[in-house]
Structure 1
Amino acid sequence: MKVLVLTNLFPTPWDPLRGAFNRQQFERLGRRHALDVLTAVDFRERLRGRRGNVQVAGLGTDHFVFVYPPRFGRALHAACWLLSLLLQRGWRLRAAGYDCILASWAYPDAVAAGWLARLLSIPYVVKVHGSDLNVQATHALRRPQIAASLRAAAAVVTVSRALAGKAVALGADAARVHTLYNGVDSKRFAPGDQAAARARLGLEDDAGPLLLYVGNLKESKGCLDLLEAFAAMEHAQARLIYVGEGPCRSALLARARALGIDTRVRLAGAMPHDALPDWFRAADLLCLPSHNEGVPNVVLEAMACGTPVVATQVGGIPEVVPAHAGRLVPLGDRAALAGALAEATAQTWDHAAIVDHARSFSWEANIDRFDTILQQAARVGAAAEALR
């Protein structure tokens, strides 16, 4: 098949680390079909200049600049998205002869992709990830657009059962909604010697427990909640490292100083995906107290390295973190989070059992199912087109 992928969640020269989970999945799908990945780049990000190069073997990759009114009219973003795409790449899309479209992210991507699919008379599949339904679909003017795009899609792929339920609640046909957990590269994310990993990262090995956060430094990811809970742990030797960048960086540094824990808190910055295994191996715990989620791949990857997880009971996290692999706490309960961190650092974990559980999330199984879903969508679309 020839598949057009439309998304904002894929690496670009302006954000080379973005959407590592999609990169892994689409690269594997590209070994079976001809995939062209066309990534939307926010015009403000485009103005900030390139930060690297992106080359993905076996994929056709390109981008377009998403232009929109920045401070108002969020309900118009899907129309702006489609207009930006058609003005910059429309002629090429009409001539390409795609069998189907895969839209990865609900708004504005999937809404605009649905309109484009109708223009091209081809079916489309929507993949949803988390806050695109958990947050975007709560807004009065965006919700009906998202609901319409899900209802008209040939298939909806969700990364958790919780998201599948929300898609059905929005009107998607339950028979066409598929829960498909992301996979883990078990060759890359595998157990290793903790002391050696710490040495490679330049970390002291004789200090207390090391807690790790990996993700965007955004309030909705719980990074500030984690800092407060860490301060309340009352473990003078514990250390906390944040791997990632985002708008909360300055607030984290200032609050750590105010709490008197700045010598035990480090902001390591964003890291390439290939560098993450050693961080997981070096840590005693991965901590991710998000306010909403689908199924974050960092949780699966940490467990694949044998590292237990402390996280919030939101989205699909409870579906993939069993009791023997971590502890889950209610959203917004910083006292419970602090208690879970203290208990988890004191607990003896069965790291081999955690690894065995994580290996059930394989990219091979993921791609087999995704391939079947896309082919079925293309066949149904071709049959419908033949009847016109």
Structure 2
Amino acid sequence: MRNKLNVLFICGWYPSRVLTNNGDFIQRHAEAVSLKQNVSVLHIITDKNCTKNIEFTSKKTNGIQTHIAYVKKTNSRVVKLIQFCRAYLILLKKVKPFDVVHLHELYPFGLFALHLKWLQKKPFLISEHWSGYLTPKLKNRTFFQKIILNLITKNASFICPVTQNLADSMQHFGLKGNYIPVPNVVDTKLFLPKKKEENEFTIIHISNMVPLKNVPQMLQVAKKLEIEIGAFTWKFIGEKIDGFSSLIKDLQFKTANIHFINHIAHKELVKEIQNANVLVLFSDYESLPCVILEAFSCGIPVISTDVGGIKEYFPHNFGFLIETGNKKELLEKIKQTQQQKLATSKEMHAYAKSNFSKEAIATIFSDLYNKALKIKY
């Protein structure tokens, strides 16, 4: 048996003391890869509470050796760049010898991947999750940034966006390279189907509740649903009710139970999904939301706007894809979910396990690492 490879994750996003859930989908990628390889993480983030210019932590989290640098906040871009580079070089000395780099977030952390390729001859892969590359919301970049982005992608062994749609958008943006989409990870041993109790019809929405998620529009649909079917429960998980209490008061719900639940741990989230009848996303744009894959793993159908690469991993009988902003269609599909026979929970879970489990993703990335290193089986 070949020895395990040593893989260095360089991450622009990753859970830390500043943002405890930022980039948790990258953490799940790291945990998946660690089933077959040795993984270390290098992450740098600005911390307004830093008393020193740079503070360092190194600890093992969920089996991953994690090295994080916290940089003191500054309004100077030049100072910030210098501090980030200093932090990177110091963290690099803390990392055990590695064979291959796995980059998460193309810019600016891709500069560190280039440094390692050019000076240490370490090949690198890129995983990209950022919906900002999607054509409808394509962000403006300076001419200099576009040159750097192209330099990074051209030097990568593989570029692995989470969907083909994101890959197409990145190439449309002019980023050339060897694209192989690899989806997000689901802990299919945690997100399991569960027999439901005979409670009232329950809808669930999980997000950070930013404007593009269209929570007010979903609340308006909830009011119309109440008028048509009477009692049901709709849980909004990820934010407190504060920003929506005025609208809820105006809508005057009588029989519908509308609950807002602040962010909860993964184990608690599993219970909420398992006890729901349907997950609803009504976003203006997305890449590949982990919550959809987690719902499938729990055997729960999904209603989502047909945006980003969602349809690439959405079997026809697992729920419904609807037009962006179409509240009437959302209402009809919620009612249809109550009536139409969809795939069984067992079928949904089996699909999730085959495509998004830690084992499945670890196998894909391990194969790409070997190809990048030109290791033959």
Normalised to the residue count of structure 2, the TM-score between the two structures is: 0.82
SS in 2 for 1:88: helix
SS in 1 for 2:317: helix
Cα separation, partners in 2 of 1:33 and 1:13, compared to 1, 3 Å: same
1:131 aligns with 2:131: yes
Distance 1:332 1:134 in 2: 18
Kindly report which structure 2 residues correspond to 1:1-388, keeping only aligned pairs within 5 A, or say none: 1-44=5-48, 56-65=61-70, 83-93=82-92, 96=95, 97-110=97-110, 113-114=113-114, 117-118=117-118, 120-134=120-134, 137-141=138-142, 143-173=146-176, 176-195=178-197, 206-207=199-200, 209-233=201-225, 234=227, 235-245=229-239, 249-261=241-253, 264-352=257-345, 353-361=347-355, 362-379=357-374
Cα separation, partners in 2 of 1:112 and 1:90, compared to 1, 3 Å: closer
> Is this contact kept in 2: 1:66–1:80, CA < 8 A?
no
Deviation at 1:45, TM superposition (A): 7.7
Deviation at 1:40, TM superposition (A): 2.9
Deviation at 1:116, TM superposition (A): 5.9
Distance 2:193 2:352 in 1: 11
Give the aligned partner of residue 198 of structure 1.
none
- Which amino acid is 1:375 matched to? N
> Is this contact kept in 1: 2:134–2:170, CA < 8 A?
no
Distance 1:339 1:45 in 2: 48
Distance 1:275 1:85 in 2: 36
Deviation at 1:357, TM superposition (A): 2.8
Distance 2:50 2:341 in 1: 47
Q: Deviations over 1:336-379 (max 9, x none)?
A: 22222232233333323333333322321211110121232244
Q: Deviations over 1:15-73 (max 9, x none)?
A: 333333322221232243332212233424879xxxxx985233211212256666xx9
Cα separation, partners in 2 of 1:178 and 1:271, compared to 1, 3 Å: same
Cα separation, partners in 2 of 1:173 and 1:373, compared to 1, 3 Å: farther
Q: Deviations over 1:187-233 (max 9, x none)?
A: 211111222xxxxxxxxx643x1110112121123333322322232
> Is this contact kept in 2: 1:81–1:108, CA < 8 A?
no
> Is this contact kept in 2: 1:158–1:180, CA < 8 A?
yes
Deviation at 1:131, TM superposition (A): 1.4
Distance 2:260 2:179 in 1: 39
Instruction: Count residues in correspondence.
Output: 356
Cα separation, partners in 2 of 1:45 and 1:178, compared to 1, 3 Å: farther
> Is this contact kept in 1: 2:32–2:361, CA < 8 A?
no
Distance 1:191 1:237 in 2: 25
- Which amino acid is 2:192 matched to? A
Deviation at 1:173, TM superposition (A): 4.2
Cα separation, partners in 2 of 1:251 and 1:366, compared to 1, 3 Å: same
Distance 2:113 2:208 in 1: 26
Q: Which runs of 5+ in 1 are unaligned?
A: 48-52, 196-204, 381-388
- Which amino acid is 2:250 matched to? A
> Is this contact kept in 1: 2:207–2:237, CA < 8 A?
yes
- Which amino acid is 1:41 matched to? I
Taking only aligned residues, the RMSD between alpha carbons, in angstroms, comes to: 3.1
Distance 1:81 1:286 in 2: 41
Distance 1:282 1:88 in 2: 45
SS in 1 for 2:186: coil
Distance 2:155 2:62 in 1: 32
SS in 2 for 1:323: coil
Distance 1:80 1:152 in 2: 27
Cα separation, partners in 2 of 1:354 and 1:122, compared to 1, 3 Å: closer
Deviation at 1:266, TM superposition (A): 0.8
Greater mean deviation of Cα atoms: 307-316 or 365-374: 365-374
Cα separation, partners in 2 of 1:60 and 1:370, compared to 1, 3 Å: same
SS in 1 for 2:16: coil
- Which amino acid is 2:339 matched to? A
Q: Which has the higher helix share?
A: 1
Distance 1:379 1:122 in 2: 12
Cα separation, partners in 2 of 1:190 and 1:14, compared to 1, 3 Å: same
Cα separation, partners in 2 of 1:55 and 1:13, compared to 1, 3 Å: farther
Deviation at 1:320, TM superposition (A): 1.2
Deviation at 1:181, TM superposition (A): 1.8
What percentage of aligned pairs have identical amino acids? Answer: 21
Distance 2:71 2:193 in 1: 41
Normalised to the residue count of structure 1, the TM-score between the two structures is: 0.80
Distance 1:347 1:313 in 2: 20
